[in-house]
Amino acid sequence: MKSSPSIIQVGIAEMNIARSPSVIRTSGLGSCVGVIIYDLPQQLAGMVHVMLPDSQLARTKAFNPAKFADTAIPALFQLLIQNGARSKNLKAKLAGGSQMFKTTLKSDLMRIGPRNVEAVENELAKLNIPVVAKDVGGSSGRTIEFDPQTGILTVRTVNKGIREI
C-alpha cells in the first residue's frame, strides 16, 4: 500500500529528507536560507534551514551542523547519498536570505541574509550541484514547500502571494 501524502516540516537549523508523495516545507524564512537538494529521477529531496554562513561563527566546539551553510550543505549531501540519491542527478533550489530590517544596525549579524545566500551557493558549487532556481533577497519573509515528485518549489510571501519556481 502506498503511504498517504504528508508534509514533512523542517524547523530552523534543522534538516530532513522527503520522498514522493510526501512534500517537505519550512516556515518563516527571514535572513535564513531554505536549501533543497533533490534527485528528481528518484523523487527524493532534502531540505535544510540555514541560519548563519560559516561555522567559524560558532563559539562552541560542538555545534549543530544544520545551522551553518558550510557544514549544512555537505551534511545534507551526505544524508541524501546515504538514502540512495545519485550525485550526478542532484540539483538545488533555494529561497530566503532577506533583509527584514533596514535600519543600520551595528552588528554585521543583522545583515546576514545576503551572506547566507552567498555561502550556500559556494558550498553547492564545491559539490558541483547546480542551482536551477532561487528566490532570494528582498525584505519579505518566506514559507516554502518542495514537491519531490515534480521538482517544484512553492514560495509564499505576504507581499507577492504564491509563486512556483
Partner 1 sequence: MSFFHSLNNFHIDVLREIGNIGAGNAATALSKLLNKKIIMKVPDVRVASFNEMFELAGGADQYVASVFLRMDGKVTGSIFFVLPVDQATLFVRQMTGIDDFSFDRPPYPEIALSAFQEAGNILASSYLNALSDFIRLPITPSVPEAVIDLFGAIISYGLLEISRESDQAIVIDTEIIDTAVNSGSIKGHIFLLPDPGSFRVLFDALGVGSE
Q: How far is the CB of 31 from partner 1 (least distance, A)?
A: 7
- Residue 12 as a binder of partner 1 (CB under 8 A): the answer is yes
Can residue 3 be called a binding residue for partner 1 (CB under 8 A)? Answer: no
34 binds partner 1 (CB under 8 A): no
Q: What is the DSSP letter of 3?
A: P
> Which C-beta is closer to partner 1: that of 54 or that of 164?
54
Closest separation in Å from C-beta 157 to partner 1:
8
One residue of 13, 17, 72, 129 binding partner 1 per CB under 8 A = 13
32 a catalytic residue: yes
Q: If you count DSSP H runs as helices and E runs as strands, how many of each does the chain have, helices first?
A: 2, 10
5 binds partner 1 (CB under 8 A): no
Q: Shortest distance, CB of residue 128 to partner 1, whole angstroms?
A: 29
Give residues with Cβ within 8 angstroms of 103, minimum separation 6.
none
Under a CB-based contact definition with an 8 Å cutoff, are residues 153 and 146 in contact? yes
What φ, ψ does residue 3 adopt, rounded to 5°? Answer: -70, 150
What does the alpha-carbon distance between residue 124 and residue 52 come to, in Å, rounded to a whole number? 15
CB of 52 to partner 1, least distance (A): 6
When binding is defined by CB under 8 A, the residue of 3, 4, 88, 106 that contacts partner 1 is 106
Give the position of cell 552588528.
Answer: 107
Three-state SS string over 40-78 comes to CCCCEEEEEEECECCHHHCCCCCCCHHHEHHHHHHHHHH
Q: Which of 32, 44, 51, 94 is catalytic?
A: 32
* Enzyme catalytic residues: 32
Which residues contribute to the site for partner 1 (CB under 8 A)?
A: 11-14, 27-32, 51-52, 57-60, 64, 67, 98, 100-107, 109-110, 112, 140-143, 158-159
